Structure 1
Amino acid sequence: MQSIPLPKTASRSDASKVLWLSTVGFTLMFAVWLMFGVLGIPIRKELGLSDLQMSWLTSVAVLNGAIWRLYFGILADRIGGKKVFTWLLLFTAVPTFLVAYTHSYGLLLLLAFLVGMAGNAFSVGIAWNSAWNSKEHQGFALGVFGAGNVGASVTKLVAPTLIAVLPAAGFLGGVFPGGWRFIPVMYAGLLVLMALWMWFFAPVRDLTPGLGRPMAEILKPLREIRVWRFSLYYVVVFGAYVALSAWLPKYYVDVYGLDLKHAALLTTLFIFPASLLRPLGGYLSDRFGARNVMKLMFLLIFVPSVLLGLPGLHLAVPAFTALLFVMAVGMGIGKAAVYKYIPQYYPSDVGAVGGLVGVFGALGGFVLPPLFAVAQSLIGVPEATFMVMGVLTLGAALWLAFVLKELHALP
């Protein structure tokens, strides 16, 4: 996508409308995308599921939120972010609603996969906002939009309380379900309202910088190794964030013996900085450069990973949570820094390159939870989760160091 000047009929107010509508929409979609991280616990109890069966509910949703990101980023470039985002909201509302009325694990797994389509809203919003903002404003704008990741905390804050206070039998003779089943009904209604709000209040004219460009030209940058390096960075700062957002409630329950409400609440202390600091990351990247920001952020993620991965420390809950907070700061700022790289190197192809980077980031969120489980099984300690995190972060940091060494060696 090009850093093109806005048309004369447009204004900064139009760009602001796009930014805030897409940010609110993405926050809601992110909450829906990761809702099984909390709902999976009462679902496991009601349906008598194993831990492995429960983990697949979250994993298939994360997977579907990954595999289409490249396509949706390109589609937003070609036909406009407003159209794609609106229809994605409406599509996601249908399986989200049906989750509430499902009693079969097989059908629930299928619906969780379809609900996962919500995760693709990220690449749509990245493409849409890049089209409406100049190069000088893109880092901050994309950082604000990406702060919609805070949606991961919405379900964790709201769902445990609603599940506890709402009658399991529901309302009006069960027409409106209660307990955990009320949450997807509520989200489905909000998705429809958000789609209507976006359609009627976003700028009538959309920007389509990818319109008419051959697909081969759009996909050409994906051959470059730099794009795959950015993808690894994003696995560290976003894929691990998604994985830990879903993994930590169970970790707090199993390792520290907390109840679901308190486990979910403590998890939000990880989610908030990893989401809300993204605008700061965009600002810092605009001012100091994405490369300088990434060096520091890898350090903020790696050091806590090492400490959390030491079995002999036996950290208490406050110390454990504080180290997670530091790691989350690195992830929140780092996510914006990665996406500052993309329009800087590929101003005409943000949709395609941003989509691919988003694919690998979300795939990291799909792959890492099973990897955490395998590591725990092989090593025999729960701290193995953070050993995996340390190795992953170190690999990305070493690749960045190698690139910097090559750059310094140039005449």
Structure 2
Amino acid sequence: MHDIRAIRENPETWDAALSRRGKEPMSSSVLALDEERRAAILAAETAQADQKKAAKEVGAAKASGNDAEFERLRALVGEKKAEVSEMQEKAKALDAQLTDLLMGIDNLPLPEVPEGADENDNVEVKRWGEPRALDFTPREHYDLAGVKPGMDFETAAKLSGARFVVLQGAVARISRALTQFMLDTHIDDHGLTETWTPVLVRPEMMYGTGQLPKFGEDSYETTNGWWLIPTSEVTLTNTVNGETLDEGDLPRRLTAYSQCFRSEAGSAGRDTAGMLRQHQFEKVEMVTICHPDEAIAEHDRMTGCAEAILEKLGLPYRTVVLCTGDMGFGAQKTHDIEVWLPGQNSYREISSVSTCGQFQARRMNARFKPAGGGKLGFVATLNGSGLAVGRCLIAVLENGQQADGSVDLPEALHPYLGGKTRLTAEGTLA
């Protein structure tokens, strides 16, 4: 959420930053509502002062025996009391309207974010690894002979409908190995704290990280008002919801494995084949809560953590900076990491790492106490995939594929597979 004081002080700059995201200027409507709210607060305070003054004079009029003045003042106290109540209710309603308006406005991009309309305007900043030269036509993951016995879309459709999958046997074990490998790397090499969180949350938590109110259709709400998390960014970030932290306790660097749930409402017809885009999927998430001054450096550090997973697995990738028109609602700046998929002959997103500045912290009222004393400040929050397990499984299978449909598995996974090094064309580990 935005700082209303910053909008009051520099509305032109705020509008200019918002327009870089392709949004209409909004400072005039925001400030008009804010002015009306402040006027109602002032009217309530003025009426309350008049009420208190009249209340004091009532006693004096009674003591002096001036019955007419006593009745006038008593009536005035009643009028002012009603006026105070009316103005307070009006101010409360206007405050709610202003909060709702600010809740629905995108975060502002950092100055260095490239301007653009969509993914075609993103800027590549790094490329690692060379796609393997193949002397056969590569297949997509679901078409590989060794994968077919362990990746069952028909049974999943019977159980749940489209965009679900049942993994079993060797493929399920490879997926589990990837999860364990990612967690161990983030914990042992990157110093993140392993965390386990619920997948059902209260709506306030979805408001805190920005999934509500604007993007409710992208997630699943239960009949009793809980929401299934689209990513454990929601739970990890909201661990500090309503908290005031000591500056010395920052940064907090967390990682969690979780099931994730998305309706994919805005992606009808996209990536329907295979398991690239699912309603239920697994992800290892990274979240950092830090001092605002450290957020940019932390963004680069977290991007490096995600890239390290791909490098250890030997998977070629490229990293891009998203342009202003392609960034997510709550982001100030985002790095997307795209892994090479030979079956599609293209790079596809496998991680998105974003710095949100104090945008989420304002929504959550998450603050920190400066070490040297002074005014409380809002923390900065960052989140990123480290990585999406299903997409990483796809990348491992497609990049390691052989002409006969078997798969050579990355060396980093061998210890997690009991020393097995390949998925045979028959679908077993060997």
Give the alignment's TM-score, normalised by structure 1. 0.25
Q: For the pair shown, which has the larger CA radius of gyration, 1 or 2?
A: 2
More strand by share: 2
More helix by share: 1
